[in-house]
């Protein structure tokens, strides 16, 4: 706080509130918004969302706070929902000195308990592979030998993460080899579990005091199980200011979940803008999925002597997307719209996340609640099986005697067991892969669907040319032929489009002083700003990374 602000505070007693945009400003991931409330007695600092930079891992290894500030200076954090680009930095904050508390809804906590340790485990595995590769290269340089690194041969890692990290098991280095800096993960699986001790839960619609004259209220965001729109109230009496942070919000009508809940409004609003310049395709989602599955089933029945019957693969995010796909398959089979296929849910995280959905049945929409009330499971089909462990998944990659359908994570095919399934099935024409949501740049999913009909994230000047679809893709560093049919459905997006957000904002009874656009690419952010400015005639802006605003 500068001298002018200090004098103003001393003279008027009016708190000075500063809002720092430290993540998802000008980008889609790494949500992190710092709020400083300067009062006469003290300063309170808290963060709205603590997300990982999924598309820029290096950023998370740095101090993302303003210069001179550390995680020890943060009094508390508020987490809108469990997705890692909104919650995944919490273990790193803990390692950097943050002692909590971190507030979220009970369902968000249950999902974070799955996601954060898994995030640490993935980071450990990635670093171990990287260090092993670096040690191999160093040994080759020292000996004058060369090895084709794509084969995974040559050199061995003496231990997990390497000795220079101070971690148990570091291997000895060649005396003549150039020193290579061993890397370590942002955090480990155990760190992910340990960070959950910092989490405290608050139910929807319960106004809760977090500090002197600072209150929070959660309302249902309709984006993910437990997702919340966050309303912060700061100050008292005439000096009180309110800040609404959407996190991510769901579409007007979401399958399985309840819809985005209306609120009265706030002095300031931070809104997501993922679809800020796009509208969702309006069509019968069930009819589209049934058409794809039926054609895939006919293709799979032909099979081959060597490979058996064909397989339908649906890569789906373990949390949220997999449960909606299972519910749709259940309904289509019950209606006779698709064959009564044997359906498998593959992956421990997907299975655990589905169990959390069953646990929090009170958060599901009326249609899904009615299924549960009738004594049925909305997330299973008549011939439904779980592939909990790796051997279960491996058996699904063997030749099948009949067509089967496998729902597995990850949704963008950038890791997990689904990659092994794709490696096995992509080269054979009797198989079908159905992607059901956004595919990030650089992912295997993006490489496979970039020419797909109906992909809203690809700008086109003419009709789709099916012959332009990739004939070969790289999977784990090796080329793989693509003979399977690849389908794409954008119908399963959990993000509101710009009209969904405009309609929600339009129900405010209080006009905001400013609306800030975050969590979108450049065109989406500018599109959302223009929609708010022209349709609602409200003040709107797109903050830059690390830009600071005073909420007066």
* pLDDT (tens digit per residue) in 239-249: 999 999 999 99
Other Cβ atoms within 10 Å of 151 Cβ, number: 9
Reply yes or no on whether the pLDDT at 522 is more than 70: yes
Q: What is the mean pLDDT of residues 301-315?
A: 91
Please give the structure tokens belonging to residue 318: 């373990």
| Arithmetic mean of pLDDT over the chain | 88
Q: What is the mean pLDDT of residues 460-480?
A: 70
Other Cβ atoms within 10 Å of 4 Cβ, number: 9
Reply yes or no on whether the pLDDT at 355 is more than 50: yes
**CA-wise closest residue to 270 among 308, 307, 244, 242:** 244
In this predicted structure, what is the pLDDT of residue 458?
Answer: 52
In this predicted structure, what is the pLDDT of residue 305?
Answer: 81
Query: What residue ranges do the domains of the chain occupy?
Result: 3-105+202-279+495-550, 115-189, 285-457+467-488
In this predicted structure, what is the pLDDT of residue 418?
Answer: 92
CATH no. of 3-105+202-279+495-550:
3.60.15.10
Cβ-contact 516, 510 below 8 angstroms: no
Residue 311's region, left for phi above 0, alpha for psi from -120 to 50, else beta, is: beta
Confidence tier at 153 by pLDDT (50, 70, 90): very low
Cβ-contact 496, 249 below 8 angstroms: yes
Cβ-contact 135, 167 below 8 angstroms: no
Which DSSP string do the residues of 145-180 spell out, in sequence order? ----GGGT-S---SSSS-GGGT-TTPPPPPSSSPP-
Q: What is the mean pLDDT of residues 211-227?
A: 97
Other Cβ atoms within 10 Å of 403 Cβ, number: 25
Reply yes or no on whether the pLDDT at 257 is more than 90: yes
Give the model confidence (pLDDT) of 156-206 as tens digits: 333 444 433 333 333 333 333 334 456 889 999 999 999 999 999 999 999
In this predicted structure, what is the pLDDT of residue 11?
Answer: 67
In this predicted structure, what is the pLDDT of residue 185?
Answer: 93
Q: What is the SS3 assignment for 109? A: helix
Before 84, cis peptide (omega within 30)? no
Reply yes or no on whether the pLDDT at 77 is more than 90: yes
Q: What is the mean pLDDT of residues 16-42?
A: 94
In this predicted structure, what is the pLDDT of residue 14?
Answer: 81
204 or 2, which is more confident: 204
In this predicted structure, what is the pLDDT of residue 150?
Answer: 43
Q: What is the mean pLDDT of residues 307-311?
A: 94
**CA-wise closest residue to 378 among 287, 257, 467, 464:** 257
Give 263's Cβ-side CA count (13 Å radius): 27
Cβ-contact 464, 434 below 8 angstroms: no
10 or 442, which is more confident: 442
Confidence tier at 149 by pLDDT (50, 70, 90): very low
In this predicted structure, what is the pLDDT of residue 152?
Answer: 41
Q: What would the 3-class secondary structure string for 259-308 be? A: CCCCCCECCEEEEECCECCCCCCCCCHHHHHHHHHHHHHHHHHHCECCCE
User: Hunting for tokens 């918004």 — which residue is that?
Assistant: 33
Range with the poorest average pLDDT among 45-59, 255-269, 320-334, 513-527: 45-59
Number of helices (H) and strands (E), helices first, in the chain? 15, 22
Give the model confidence (pLDDT) of 99-113 as tens digits: 999 999 999 999 999
The CATH-assigned architecture of domain 285-457+467-488 is 3-Layer(aba) Sandwich (3.40)
Asked whether this chain's domains 3-105+202-279+495-550 and 285-457+467-488 adopt the same fold, the reply is no
Q: What is the mean pLDDT of residues 416-434?
A: 93
Reply yes or no on whether the pLDDT at 43 is more than 80: yes
Confidence tier at 131 by pLDDT (50, 70, 90): confident
In this predicted structure, what is the pLDDT of residue 455?
Answer: 52
Give the model confidence (pLDDT) of 371-414 as tens digits: 999 999 999 999 999 999 999 999 999 999 999 999 998 888 88
What percent of the chain shows pLDDT beyond 70?
89
């Amino acid at each position: 706080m500068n001298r002018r602000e200090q004098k103003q505070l001393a003279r008027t007693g009016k708190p000075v509130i500063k809002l720092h945009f430290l993540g998802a400003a000008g980008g889609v991931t790494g949500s992190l918004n710092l709020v400083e409330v300067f009062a006469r007695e003290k300063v309170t600092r808290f963060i709205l969302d603590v997300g990982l930079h999924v598309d820029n891992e290096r950023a998370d290894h740095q101090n993302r706070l303003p210069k001179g500030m550390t995680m020890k200076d943060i009094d508390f954090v508020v987490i809108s929902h469990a997705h890692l680009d909104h919650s995944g930095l919490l273990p790193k904050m803990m390692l950097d000195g943050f002692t909590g508390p971190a507030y979220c809804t009970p369902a968000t906590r249950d999902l974070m308990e799955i996601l954060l340790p898994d995030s640490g485990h993935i980071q450990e595995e990635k670093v171990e592979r990287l260090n092993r590769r670096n040690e191999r290269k160093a040994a080759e340089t020292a000996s004058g030998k060369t090895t084709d690194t794509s084969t995974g041969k040559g050199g061995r890692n003496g231990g997990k993460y390497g000795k220079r990290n101070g971690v148990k098991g570091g291997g000895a280095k060649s005396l003549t080899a150039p020193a290579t800096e061993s890397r370590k993960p942002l955090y480990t699986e155990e760190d992910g579990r340990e960070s959950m001790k910092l989490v405290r839960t608050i139910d929807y619609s319960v106004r809760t005091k977090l500090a002197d004259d600072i209150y929070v209220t959660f309302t249902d965001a309709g984006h993910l199980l437990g997702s919340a729109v966050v309303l912060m109230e700061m100050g008292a009496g005439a000096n009180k200011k309110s800040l609404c942070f959407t996190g991510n919000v769901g579409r007007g009508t979401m399958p399985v979940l309840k819809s985005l809940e209306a609120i009265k409004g706030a002095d300031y609003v931070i809104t997501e803008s993922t679809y800020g310049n796009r509208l969702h395709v309006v069509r019968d989602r069930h009819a589209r999925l049934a058409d794809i599955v039926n054609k895939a089933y006919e293709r799979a029945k032909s099979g081959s002597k060597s490979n058996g019957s064909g397989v339908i693969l649906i890569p789906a995010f373990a949390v949220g997307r997999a449960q909606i796909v299972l519910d749709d398959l259940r309904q289509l089979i019950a209606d006779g719209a698709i064959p009564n296929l044997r359906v498998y849910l593959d992956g421990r995280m997907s299975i655990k996340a589905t169990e959390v959905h069953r646990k929090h049945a009170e958060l599901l929409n009326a249609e899904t609640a009615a299924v549960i009330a009738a004594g049925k499971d909305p997330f299973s089909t008549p011939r439904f099986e779980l592939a909990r462990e790796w051997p279960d998944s491996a058996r699904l990659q063997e030749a099948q005697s009949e067509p089967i359908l496998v729902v597995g994570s990850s949704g963008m095919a950038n890791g997990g067991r689904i990659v092994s399934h794709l490696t096995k099935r992509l080269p054979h024409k009797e198989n079908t892969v159905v992607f059901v949501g956004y595919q990030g740049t650089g992912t295997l999913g993006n490489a496979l669907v970039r020419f797909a009909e109906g992909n809203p994230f690809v700008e086109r000047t003419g009709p789709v040319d099916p012959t332009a679809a990739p004939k070969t893709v790289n999977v784990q560093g090796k080329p793989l032929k693509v003979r399977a049919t690849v389908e794409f459905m954008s119908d399963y997006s959990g993000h509101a489009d710009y009209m969904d957000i405009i309609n929600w904002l339009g129900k405010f009874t209080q006009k905001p002083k400013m609306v800030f656009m975050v969590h979108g690419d450049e065109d989406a952010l500018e599109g959302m700003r223009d929609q708010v400015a022209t349709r609602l005639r409200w003040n709107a802006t797109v903050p830059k990374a690390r830009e600071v605003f005073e909420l007066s």
